[in-house]
Amino acid sequence: MKIAFIGLGNMGAPMAQNLLKAGHELTVFDLNTEAVQSLVAAGANSAPSPKAAATNAEYVITMLPAATHVRSVLTGEEGILAGIAKHVTIIDSSTIDPASVKAFAELAKQNGNTFVDAPVSGGTGGAAAGTLTFMVGGSPQAYEHVKPVLAAMGKNIVHCGDTSTGQVAKICNNLVLGITMAGVSEAMALGEALGIDPKVLGGIINTSTGRCWSSDTYNPFPGVIETAPSTRGYTGGFGTDLMLKDLGLATDAAKFARQPVFLGALAQQLYQTMSTKGAGKLDFSAVIKLYRKNGDA
């Protein structure tokens, strides 16, 4: 397939590499020329704009930080919609709000194109290994159409429902994640203050009813899980600022739906405090620093 790929960051670059490995013909664009150069070295073509990248493409994929970037890459003078052929599908894998997805899908429709939301979970490790989960929002036909392309980058390709339901799934999952990480942090720090060995406490939680991913895979207390970011100084994981962005998407969507998110709003304030203290680039499990007596956040 001829595929245009826009946004070669921590996630987009390894995803694009996997498309090349699967034998697709790739044309890439990013504002960061170094990121473009490493894809060109791996066999991709580069284009001077999203518009140029989209010309002749059979699929267009975007992997950008936030909705504002997707809007400019899509609708700008040199944007995708200015260059894309009719009936070509645009797949956006960025994590953005459901309302923006619906607006972009409408703009694409007016241009004769289909816009599918397909956010991912699995992190940079999953992107490199080609084992991402894609949460796809769109018609059943659109889902069937994008599935073979997404299969080169992911292991689970799930149809969530109509346009924007992929983002709904992504936002709700990360709402749970932000809350459980704060909960595990609270419990681990309390246990430490009351004098139990954190490794013993972690082991008990992980074989008891408090067990969850934030506890048994990504425990925020250093040394409890050897492979967790907490054990390597909270580096190389899912950034606090990205978690803050996702909780913002959840609380905004909840406002729109007139739906309470008591714990999500509180968790948002915790990660915001971390960000204000200059810890936005640390893995989000560093939120435990707000609880520990010797925490430096």
List of residues contacting ligand NAD (CB under 6 A) = 6-12, 29-32, 35, 63-65, 69, 72-73, 94-95, 120-121, 123-124, 238, 242
Which has the closest alpha carbon to 234: 176, 289, 277, 272? 289
DSSP type of residue 78? T
Rg (CA), the chain: 20
Residue nearest to ligand NAD (CB): 9
97/216 with CB nearer ligand NAD: 97
State in angstroms the smallest separation of the CB of 286 from ligand NAD.
Answer: 15
DSSP type of residue 286? G
Q: What is the residue whose two structure tokens read 């987009």?
A: 12
Q: What is the residue whose two structure tokens read 């429709």?
A: 109
Rounded CA gap, 130 and 152, in Å? 7
Rounded CA gap, 291 and 189, in Å? 6
12/138 with CB nearer ligand NAD: 12
State in angstroms the smallest separation of the CB of 156 from ligand NAD.
Answer: 14
State in angstroms the smallest separation of the CB of 49 from ligand NAD.
Answer: 9
121/185 with CB nearer ligand NAD: 121
**In a 3-state reduction of DSSP, which class is residue 154?**
strand
63/225 with CB nearer ligand NAD: 63
State in angstroms the smallest separation of the CB of 182 from ligand NAD.
Answer: 19
Please pick, among 170, 255, 281, 289, the residue that the annotation labels catalytic.
Answer: 170
22/66 with CB nearer ligand NAD: 66
Give all strands (DSSP E) within the chain, no chain letters.
Answer: 2-6, 25-29, 45-46, 59-62, 89-92, 114-117, 120-121, 132-137, 154-161
Please give the C-alpha separations between residue 166 and each of 92, 102, 172, 255, in angstroms, as whole numbers: 10, 12, 10, 19
State in angstroms the smallest separation of the CB of 127 from ligand NAD.
Answer: 8
In this structure, are residues 122 and 156 in contact, taking their beta carbons and an 8 Å threshold? no
Active site residue 51: no
Rounded CA gap, 74 and 233, in Å? 38
Q: Give me the active site residues, please.
A: 170
